[in-house]
Amino acid sequence: SLGLASFYDFSQVDRTRMAKQTSPTLLVTAAQTHLLLAEAAHRGWISVPAKEFYDHAVQRQMEEMAAYGENTIIPEDQIAAYLSANPFDPNKALEQINTQYWIASFLKGPEAFSNFRRSGFPALSPNPFSGQDISGDFIRRLTYPNSEISVNSANVQEAISRQGPDNLDTRVWWDK
């Protein structure tokens, strides 16, 4: 065993509901929008209390599950019980908001990963990648493919000179 994580070591998506070809694809949801607003409120960028946006986001995320069929509907009393048992804590606001954003971004891998890189939440265990060009815990970006380097070398080299080494752990401009 190389110690690498395997897709089969983890829970799988329900292929009869969420991953079937006729399932809806939710791109940007109300829950995600309200979580971004909760973060903006927590940072003082808007005047509405962060808790209002956060609670509404969690509620909307649970309600959005209904899009995947009758068996995925979460009853209102269970939503209320969850919010009551897991109250918004201003001292852990960024962790709670961005962990919930990770959940709200389920099935939207690039969005979940981008927000994780931006916020640092949720707390994740790194994949034990055995490559030589990663010195940190997580891959931060993709490298340029050889095909791009071979047909567009001058522009690739110019981009690398501006953004940093062409390594998996070099941060992109918005992740610095």
Q: pLDDT digit string (tens) for 6-42?
A: 666 677 777 777 778 888 888 899 999 999 999 999 9
Instruction: Provide CATH code, domain 12-119.
Output: 1.20.120.840
Within 10 angstroms of residue 158's Cβ, the number of other Cβ atoms is 11
What is d(CA 127, CA 4) in angstroms, rounded to the nearest whole number?
A: 7
Helix and strand numbers (H, E) in the chain are 7, 0
Please choose, from the candidates 128, 101, 132, 129, the residue with its C-alpha nearest in 3D space to the C-alpha of residue 114.
101
Lowest-pLDDT range, 51-55, 105-109, 156-160?
105-109
Domain ranges of the chain: 12-119, 131-176
Res 1 pLDDT > 50:
no
Q: Look up the pTM and report it.
A: 0.78
